[in-house]
Structure formats: structure tokens, C-alpha cells
Amino acid sequence: MTIVDAHTDLIPAGGPETADLGIGSGPAWLESWLAAHRSDVVGWRRSLHALPELGRQEFRSTEMVARHLMAAGLEPRTLPGGTGLVCDIGYGDRCVALRADLDALPLQEDTGLPFASTVDGAMHACGHDAHTAMLLGAGLALASAPALPGRVRLIFQAAEEVQPGGAIDMVADGAMEGVQRIFALHCDPRLEVGKLGTRVGPITSACDVVEIRLTSPGGHTSRPHLTADLVEAMGLLITQLPLLLTRQVDPRSGTVLVWGAAHAGEAANAIPQHGVLRGTLRTADHATWGELEAKFGMLVEAVLAPMGVGYELDHIRGVPPVVNEEISAGILADAAATVLGPEASTTTEQSSGGEDFAWYLEHVPGAMARLGVWPGHGPMRDIHQPTFDLDERAIPFGVRILVTAAFGALAVPTP
């Protein structure tokens, strides 16, 4: 089977950097599939990279994935909104799921790559193009197997970057029905290519968005005693809320409030009538996350009470922490060791970033692992930056990890 994407004319063919690091480690059918289609998988990543789509706008990306799956005789099901799809491979009551995310970020790319984004203000700066290509490759490789010991469900999810995440739409649409475990990989530019970072327990943090809109009668700065000083109130919120939170939550929870935007007024001699603060509230602890909304609201009210300033608080609940289940994390670690030897599997720390993969783990056990994409030399180009790039040797390695993990999970008794 030759797989050709409609947009491959936009991108150059893969080069030596797409070498298969795990060659010879898999069954004959996987080795044969990768030998024939490794450059296709890299090409899909480059095509997706050149034509990124933001959250819940991933129509072309969804269609591209569906087209390749149907060409292999599979029956993908697109979600009602037209973005994101689910596809089962194999038969039987036992089912494990593999998930990738489709969406890009609203950033202007600054990499200079020959397949750089052609869409103004949009870029795959978090590796979702690679995630999608790897899962599509893994799915088509699994479809070429003579037999599977159960079902593997492919989940291509929209809107991971949009709070509270497209995973909620997937769960609501039934993507977790009948699934025993779920797995995902995420690109890590601080980990060398050929390495897989795993962790038991929380690997990401909860992340909420908070917005406080302030109101005041306004007035002249020469007479602050005759009005409510909105800017002074805003300053107290900026400085006092992070401090006060440290006395309301367990210090071991890794809770942190960081402001990202503060706007009020224009004139130097006028107390403004309106202002807004926006920030993120993160915690590494699931139980603490459940308490934060009430505690944060109480503190906002307490800080503003003596100021006479009106306010409206929007506390947008984001995602819980991704908490890796022990057996599932072990399956991913074993997969890395199988593909590239014991040195390929390493431990990783919990990050303060959020990931909506956590919503799946509210329903079934599973794990996410960090896939090394740093070439081992030169700068580590971080995610969510206009210069982010990855070593494409990680892509066939990721395909092998996903396939091996799926087989490993199907061999484990149902939890």
C-alpha cells in the first residue's frame, strides 16, 4: 500500500534525520510496514506542520487522518462537530486506547524550516503534528498485523490547547466506552531523541484561568479619598493574592498563581473606572485543585473589601493533573526498553503545565510519557515558542513505542 497525502508537494522528502532508531526490534509485520512507510509518516508530520489548524478548526487535519485510515480498510468515525475522530482496529472485548492531539497554537512561526507554517498566526509549536503522525503510523501498522489480541482504539482529539480541552468532547461522545487503558506520548524538547520519560503518579499539573474585572466610579488622582482607587486595588490583588494563597493550601501541593495580563486606565492623572487582571492558577495536587475555586474567591473578596472597588470574578476550571497509573506507566517504560534497550527508558519530573489527557484518566487507568525530541546538541527549543522544532528521528521511534505499548497493555489482565 502506498500512502500519499494531497499536500506532500508542499514539503521536501525526509532525510537522514528520519533514521529508524529501533530498527529490528519489532515483529516482522511492523518492520516491513516501517521499512515501506517511514518516510510517509515523516511526510504527514511535515504536511500538518505546513498547514496548522487551531482548536476546533482542525477540519483538514481530521479529513487527512480519516482518508488514510479508510484507505487501509478501517472505519473511522468523525465527531459531530467535524473535528476529531475515533477508529477501532481489531476485534474482541479487550480494548486499549492511544490518543493524539490535532490542534496548533496561535503563534507566528520563526523556524525557517522548508515546511514551516503557511498559515499566518498559527503554528504547531507543541508537537501535535508529530503526535498525530505517530498515531496514524501506529494505527496503520497495527492494521497490517496478521492478528491482534484485542482492539486498539485510535483517538485523534481536537482542541487540546483550548480550556478545558477537547478531551471532554471525546469522553462525552463515548470514546472511553469499553476501554481498559489509555496511553499518549508528548514531545519533550529537554529530553534527547531515543529516550522516553515515564513517571508513576502526577506528571502534569492542574491549570485554571482566572479573570478579575474591576469597577470604580473613577476620579482625579488629586482626590483619591473621594473615590475608589481601582489601580491601587489592582496592585494589592497582584501582590497579595499569590502570597495569601501560600497560607491557604498545603505548601507541598506546588500551587502557584501567575498573572499574565493587567490593564487599567490611560491618563496619568485619572483614576480609571475599569480594569482587568488575568492569570493562571496551577497546582500539582488533585485534591487541592478541587478546593482552589472556593479559596481563591474568598481571598479576592477579602483583599478588595476595604477598597470600595467592585469586581466580577471568572474562575475558569481547566484540567486536573495527569496522574499516571503504575501498571500503565510501566507498560510505556517496558515499551521503550523493548524498542531501544534499557537505556531508552528514563524517569521524568512532574511539570506545572496542564494537559487535557487528564480527563481520560478520570475514567480509566492509563499513562502519558515524554518523548525525547532534542537531537543531543545545540539549543533546546522549548514548546509554545515560535522557534520550536523537533528531531524527526523521534517519529518512527514513537510509532514503535505506541505499537509495543498497545500489545503490552492487551496482554495485561483487565484492571
**Which residue type occupies 322?**
V
DSSP 48-94: HHHS---TT--HHHHHHHHHHHHHTT---EE-TTSS-EEEEES-SS-
pLDDT tens per residue across all 415 residues of the chain: 333 344 444 444 444 348 899 999 999 999 999 999 999 999 999 999 999 999 999 999 999 999 999 999 999 999 999 999 999 999 999 999 999 999 999 999 999 999 999 999 999 999 999 999 999 999 999 999 999 999 999 999 999 999 899 999 999 999 999 999 999 999 999 999 999 999 999 999 999 999 999 999 999 999 999 999 999 999 999 999 999 999 999 999 999 999 999 999 999 999 999 999 999 999 999 999 999 999 999 999 999 999 999 999 999 999 999 999 999 999 999 999 999 999 999 999 999 899 999 999 999 999 999 999 999 999 999 999 999 999 999 999 999 999 999 999 999 887 6
Strands 323-324, 256-264: pairing kind: unpaired
The grid coordinates of residue 348 equal 521524568
DSSP 378-412: S----TTSTT----TTHHHHHHHHHHHHHHHHHTS
**Which residue type occupies 233?**
A
Beta bridge partners of 202: 323
How far out from the chain centre does Cα 212 lie? 26
What is the distance between the alpha carbons of residues 384 and 374, in angstroms, rounded to a whole number? 15
What is the distance between the alpha carbons of residues 193 and 190, in angstroms, rounded to a whole number? 9
Stated pTM of the model = 0.91
How far out from the chain centre does Cα 155 lie? 13
DSSP conformation class of 181: E
